[in-house]
Structure 1
Amino acid sequence: MENYPSPGLGSIPTVAIVIYLAILILTAAGAWKVFVKAGKPGWAVLIPIYNYIVLCEIVGKPIWWFLLMICPCINFIFVIWVANLVSKSFGKSEGFTVGLILLHPIFVMILGFGDAVYLGPSAKEANMNNRFGSGDYQKPFDPQA
Protein backbone atom coordinates (compact mmCIF):
# COMPACT_ATOMS: atom_id res chain seq x y z
CA MET A 1 0.00 0.00 0.00
CA GLU A 2 1.16 3.41 -0.82
CA ASN A 3 0.55 6.40 1.37
CA TYR A 4 -0.81 9.43 -0.43
CA PRO A 5 -0.47 12.79 1.19
CA SER A 6 -3.77 14.26 2.27
CA PRO A 7 -4.61 17.78 1.17
CA GLY A 8 -4.57 18.78 4.81
CA LEU A 9 -7.35 18.90 7.30
CA GLY A 10 -7.29 22.67 7.51
CA SER A 11 -7.44 23.68 3.85
CA ILE A 12 -11.13 23.48 2.87
CA PRO A 13 -12.69 24.09 6.30
CA THR A 14 -10.35 27.02 6.88
CA VAL A 15 -11.36 28.66 3.60
CA ALA A 16 -15.04 28.14 4.42
CA ILE A 17 -14.58 29.66 7.87
CA VAL A 18 -12.73 32.67 6.46
CA ILE A 19 -15.46 33.26 3.85
CA TYR A 20 -18.17 32.89 6.50
CA LEU A 21 -16.44 35.34 8.84
CA ALA A 22 -15.96 37.84 6.00
CA ILE A 23 -19.68 37.68 5.15
CA LEU A 24 -20.56 38.00 8.83
CA ILE A 25 -18.35 41.06 9.31
CA LEU A 26 -19.63 42.75 6.14
CA THR A 27 -23.24 42.10 7.17
CA ALA A 28 -22.60 43.52 10.64
CA ALA A 29 -20.94 46.58 9.10
CA GLY A 30 -23.90 47.12 6.76
CA ALA A 31 -26.38 46.74 9.61
CA TRP A 32 -24.27 49.15 11.70
CA LYS A 33 -24.60 51.74 8.92
CA VAL A 34 -28.37 51.10 8.69
CA PHE A 35 -28.75 51.76 12.42
CA VAL A 36 -26.62 54.91 12.19
CA LYS A 37 -28.68 56.19 9.24
CA ALA A 38 -31.80 55.70 11.34
CA GLY A 39 -30.30 57.74 14.18
CA LYS A 40 -29.67 54.79 16.49
CA PRO A 41 -26.35 53.66 17.94
CA GLY A 42 -24.49 51.38 15.55
CA TRP A 43 -23.04 49.21 18.31
CA ALA A 44 -26.58 47.98 19.05
CA VAL A 45 -26.20 45.59 16.12
CA LEU A 46 -23.69 43.57 18.12
CA ILE A 47 -25.94 42.88 21.14
CA PRO A 48 -28.26 39.93 20.40
CA ILE A 49 -31.66 40.86 21.88
CA TYR A 50 -31.11 44.60 22.06
CA ASN A 51 -30.69 44.80 18.27
CA TYR A 52 -34.28 43.57 17.84
CA ILE A 53 -35.49 46.19 20.31
CA VAL A 54 -33.70 48.95 18.39
CA LEU A 55 -35.02 47.54 15.12
CA CYS A 56 -38.56 47.81 16.49
CA GLU A 57 -37.86 51.45 17.36
CA ILE A 58 -36.55 52.10 13.85
CA VAL A 59 -39.68 50.78 12.15
CA GLY A 60 -42.07 52.29 14.68
CA LYS A 61 -43.45 49.14 16.27
CA PRO A 62 -43.87 48.71 20.03
CA ILE A 63 -40.78 47.46 21.81
CA TRP A 64 -42.51 44.29 23.01
CA TRP A 65 -42.52 43.09 19.38
CA PHE A 66 -39.01 41.78 19.97
CA LEU A 67 -40.68 38.97 21.94
CA LEU A 68 -42.67 38.05 18.86
CA MET A 69 -39.47 38.07 16.82
CA ILE A 70 -37.77 35.54 19.10
CA CYS A 71 -40.80 33.36 19.89
CA PRO A 72 -40.63 29.98 18.10
CA CYS A 73 -43.16 29.12 15.39
CA ILE A 74 -44.37 32.71 14.86
CA ASN A 75 -41.05 34.50 14.65
CA PHE A 76 -40.61 34.09 10.90
CA ILE A 77 -43.85 36.00 10.28
CA PHE A 78 -42.79 38.95 12.41
CA VAL A 79 -39.20 38.97 11.14
CA ILE A 80 -40.54 39.18 7.57
CA TRP A 81 -42.99 41.90 8.64
CA VAL A 82 -40.22 43.93 10.28
CA ALA A 83 -37.99 43.43 7.23
CA ASN A 84 -40.79 44.87 5.10
CA LEU A 85 -41.14 47.82 7.46
CA VAL A 86 -37.38 48.40 7.35
CA SER A 87 -37.42 48.55 3.57
CA LYS A 88 -40.43 50.89 3.67
CA SER A 89 -38.71 53.09 6.26
CA PHE A 90 -35.86 53.57 3.80
CA GLY A 91 -38.17 54.19 0.82
CA LYS A 92 -37.70 50.79 -0.83
CA SER A 93 -40.33 48.52 -2.37
CA GLU A 94 -41.58 45.02 -1.62
CA GLY A 95 -39.05 43.65 -4.08
CA PHE A 96 -36.31 44.98 -1.83
CA THR A 97 -38.03 43.22 1.08
CA VAL A 98 -37.82 39.90 -0.78
CA GLY A 99 -34.13 40.53 -1.38
CA LEU A 100 -33.67 41.50 2.24
CA ILE A 101 -35.14 38.17 3.31
CA LEU A 102 -33.55 35.86 0.74
CA LEU A 103 -30.14 37.52 0.29
CA HIS A 104 -29.85 39.30 3.62
CA PRO A 105 -26.10 40.07 3.67
CA ILE A 106 -26.14 41.65 0.20
CA PHE A 107 -29.25 43.75 0.70
CA VAL A 108 -28.22 44.93 4.17
CA MET A 109 -24.96 46.15 2.66
CA ILE A 110 -26.90 47.86 -0.16
CA LEU A 111 -29.12 49.53 2.42
CA GLY A 112 -26.25 50.52 4.70
CA PHE A 113 -23.58 51.56 2.22
CA GLY A 114 -25.90 52.72 -0.58
CA ASP A 115 -27.69 56.00 -1.03
CA ALA A 116 -30.83 54.97 0.87
CA VAL A 117 -32.11 57.64 3.24
CA TYR A 118 -34.08 56.92 6.40
CA LEU A 119 -37.52 58.47 5.95
CA GLY A 120 -38.82 57.72 9.43
CA PRO A 121 -40.75 54.82 10.87
CA SER A 122 -43.13 53.31 8.37
CA ALA A 123 -45.51 51.58 10.78
CA LYS A 124 -48.98 53.10 10.99
CA GLU A 125 -48.81 53.15 14.77
CA ALA A 126 -45.84 55.50 14.67
CA ASN A 127 -47.49 57.91 12.28
CA MET A 128 -50.84 58.42 13.95
CA ASN A 129 -52.17 58.88 17.42
CA ASN A 130 -54.21 55.93 18.55
CA ARG A 131 -54.85 54.27 21.86
CA PHE A 132 -52.28 51.55 21.21
CA GLY A 133 -49.61 53.66 19.56
CA SER A 134 -47.75 56.80 20.34
CA GLY A 135 -50.65 58.82 21.76
CA ASP A 136 -51.11 60.14 25.26
CA TYR A 137 -51.15 57.20 27.65
CA GLN A 138 -52.77 59.20 30.44
CA LYS A 139 -55.93 59.81 28.38
CA PRO A 140 -56.07 56.98 25.85
CA PHE A 141 -59.62 57.67 24.64
CA ASP A 142 -59.29 61.42 24.37
CA PRO A 143 -59.69 62.38 20.67
CA GLN A 144 -57.72 65.62 21.26
CA ALA A 145 -54.56 63.75 22.23
Structure 2
Amino acid sequence: MDSNGISDLFAAIFSGTTGLIALVFYVLVVIGLWKVFTKAGYPGILAIIPIVNVVFLVKIAGMSGWLALLYLIPIVGFIFGIIVAVKLGERFGKGGLFSFFLLFVFPYIGYLILGFGESRYRRA
Protein backbone atom coordinates (compact mmCIF):
# COMPACT_ATOMS: atom_id res chain seq x y z
CA MET A 1 0.00 0.00 0.00
CA ASP A 2 1.47 3.35 -0.98
CA SER A 3 1.51 6.40 1.23
CA ASN A 4 -1.54 7.86 -0.48
CA GLY A 5 -3.51 4.69 0.24
CA ILE A 6 -2.53 4.82 3.91
CA SER A 7 -3.61 8.44 4.24
CA ASP A 8 -6.92 7.57 2.55
CA LEU A 9 -7.38 4.74 5.04
CA PHE A 10 -6.76 7.05 8.01
CA ALA A 11 -9.08 9.65 6.50
CA ALA A 12 -11.82 7.04 6.22
CA ILE A 13 -11.32 5.77 9.76
CA PHE A 14 -11.24 9.16 11.47
CA SER A 15 -14.02 10.87 9.58
CA GLY A 16 -17.76 10.73 9.55
CA THR A 17 -19.67 8.52 11.92
CA THR A 18 -16.66 6.52 13.18
CA GLY A 19 -14.78 9.66 14.19
CA LEU A 20 -17.86 11.06 15.91
CA ILE A 21 -18.42 7.85 17.87
CA ALA A 22 -14.75 7.77 18.92
CA LEU A 23 -15.01 11.39 20.06
CA VAL A 24 -18.12 10.62 22.12
CA PHE A 25 -16.36 7.72 23.88
CA TYR A 26 -13.28 9.87 24.52
CA VAL A 27 -15.42 12.62 26.05
CA LEU A 28 -17.21 10.07 28.27
CA VAL A 29 -13.88 8.70 29.51
CA VAL A 30 -12.55 12.22 30.17
CA ILE A 31 -15.67 13.19 32.14
CA GLY A 32 -15.41 10.04 34.27
CA LEU A 33 -11.66 10.41 34.78
CA TRP A 34 -12.09 14.07 35.76
CA LYS A 35 -14.31 13.03 38.68
CA VAL A 36 -12.05 10.07 39.58
CA PHE A 37 -9.01 12.39 39.67
CA THR A 38 -10.93 14.90 41.79
CA LYS A 39 -11.97 12.20 44.28
CA ALA A 40 -8.35 11.06 44.52
CA GLY A 41 -7.13 14.60 45.25
CA TYR A 42 -5.61 15.44 41.84
CA PRO A 43 -6.68 18.29 39.55
CA GLY A 44 -9.41 17.08 37.20
CA ILE A 45 -7.93 18.98 34.26
CA LEU A 46 -5.22 16.29 34.05
CA ALA A 47 -7.85 13.91 32.64
CA ILE A 48 -7.89 15.81 29.34
CA ILE A 49 -4.18 15.41 28.56
CA PRO A 50 -3.76 11.96 26.92
CA ILE A 51 -0.42 10.64 28.25
CA VAL A 52 -0.53 12.56 31.52
CA ASN A 53 -3.89 11.02 32.44
CA VAL A 54 -2.40 7.52 32.18
CA VAL A 55 0.53 8.45 34.45
CA PHE A 56 -1.79 9.86 37.11
CA LEU A 57 -4.21 6.96 36.78
CA VAL A 58 -1.33 4.60 37.60
CA LYS A 59 -0.44 6.82 40.59
CA ILE A 60 -4.06 6.76 41.79
CA ALA A 61 -3.96 2.95 41.54
CA GLY A 62 -1.13 3.05 44.09
CA MET A 63 1.91 2.51 41.89
CA SER A 64 4.75 4.70 40.69
CA GLY A 65 3.88 6.94 37.76
CA TRP A 66 6.99 5.69 35.99
CA LEU A 67 5.36 2.30 35.63
CA ALA A 68 3.05 3.87 33.03
CA LEU A 69 5.93 3.27 30.62
CA LEU A 70 5.01 -0.43 30.76
CA TYR A 71 2.02 0.39 28.54
CA LEU A 72 4.50 0.85 25.69
CA ILE A 73 5.55 -2.82 25.74
CA PRO A 74 2.98 -4.76 23.67
CA ILE A 75 1.96 -7.82 25.74
CA VAL A 76 3.17 -6.37 29.05
CA GLY A 77 1.05 -3.25 28.45
CA PHE A 78 -2.10 -5.33 28.04
CA ILE A 79 -1.48 -7.26 31.28
CA PHE A 80 -0.43 -4.07 33.10
CA GLY A 81 -3.70 -2.45 32.01
CA ILE A 82 -5.62 -5.22 33.75
CA ILE A 83 -3.49 -4.86 36.89
CA VAL A 84 -4.03 -1.09 36.98
CA ALA A 85 -7.79 -1.56 36.53
CA VAL A 86 -7.99 -4.07 39.39
CA LYS A 87 -5.84 -1.95 41.73
CA LEU A 88 -7.83 1.16 40.87
CA GLY A 89 -11.06 -0.68 41.64
CA GLU A 90 -9.64 -1.83 44.98
CA ARG A 91 -8.79 1.78 45.87
CA PHE A 92 -12.45 2.67 45.35
CA GLY A 93 -13.78 -0.41 47.15
CA LYS A 94 -14.80 -2.34 44.05
CA GLY A 95 -14.22 -6.02 43.34
CA GLY A 96 -12.21 -7.75 40.67
CA LEU A 97 -15.10 -8.44 38.27
CA PHE A 98 -16.24 -4.81 38.36
CA SER A 99 -12.67 -3.67 37.83
CA PHE A 100 -11.98 -5.99 34.91
CA PHE A 101 -15.20 -5.48 33.00
CA LEU A 102 -16.02 -1.86 33.79
CA LEU A 103 -12.55 -0.33 34.18
CA PHE A 104 -10.60 -2.38 31.63
CA VAL A 105 -13.11 -3.60 29.03
CA PHE A 106 -15.70 -0.78 29.21
CA PRO A 107 -13.85 2.15 30.84
CA TYR A 108 -16.30 4.75 29.51
CA ILE A 109 -18.93 3.20 31.83
CA GLY A 110 -16.68 2.24 34.76
CA TYR A 111 -15.03 5.63 35.23
CA LEU A 112 -18.43 7.33 35.23
CA ILE A 113 -19.62 4.91 37.93
CA LEU A 114 -16.49 5.51 40.03
CA GLY A 115 -16.58 9.26 39.53
CA PHE A 116 -20.25 9.96 40.04
CA GLY A 117 -21.10 7.02 42.32
CA GLU A 118 -20.95 6.74 46.08
CA SER A 119 -17.57 5.03 46.21
CA ARG A 120 -14.78 6.84 48.06
CA TYR A 121 -11.08 6.83 47.32
CA ARG A 122 -8.87 5.15 49.93
CA ARG A 123 -5.14 5.78 49.77
CA ALA A 124 -3.90 2.51 51.24
Shorter-chain TM-score bucket reads: 0.7 to 0.9
Aligned-partner Cα distance in 2 for 1:82–1:119: 15
Hey, what does 1:113 align to over in structure 2?
A: 116
Matches for 1:1-145 after TM superposition, within 5 Å: 14-99=16-101, 100-121=103-124
Name the count of aligned residue pairs. 109
Q: Which has the higher contact order (CA 8 A, sep 6+)?
A: 2
Alpha-carbon distance in 1 for matches of 2:24, 2:50: 19
Letter in 2 for 1:103: F
Larger radius of gyration: 1
Partners of 1:48 and 1:18 lie apart in 2 by 18
TM-score by length of 2: 0.77
Residues 69 and 44 from structure 1, CA distance in 2 versus in 1: closer, same or farther, beyond 3 angstroms?
A: same
- Which has the larger share of helix? 2
Specify every segment of 5 or more residues in structure 1 that has no aligned partner in the other structure, as ranges. Answer: 1-12, 122-145
Quote the RMSD (CA, aligned, Å).
Answer: 1.7
TM-score normalised per structure 1: 0.67
For the residues of structure 1 that align with 2:21 and 2:64, how far apart are their CA atoms? Answer: 36
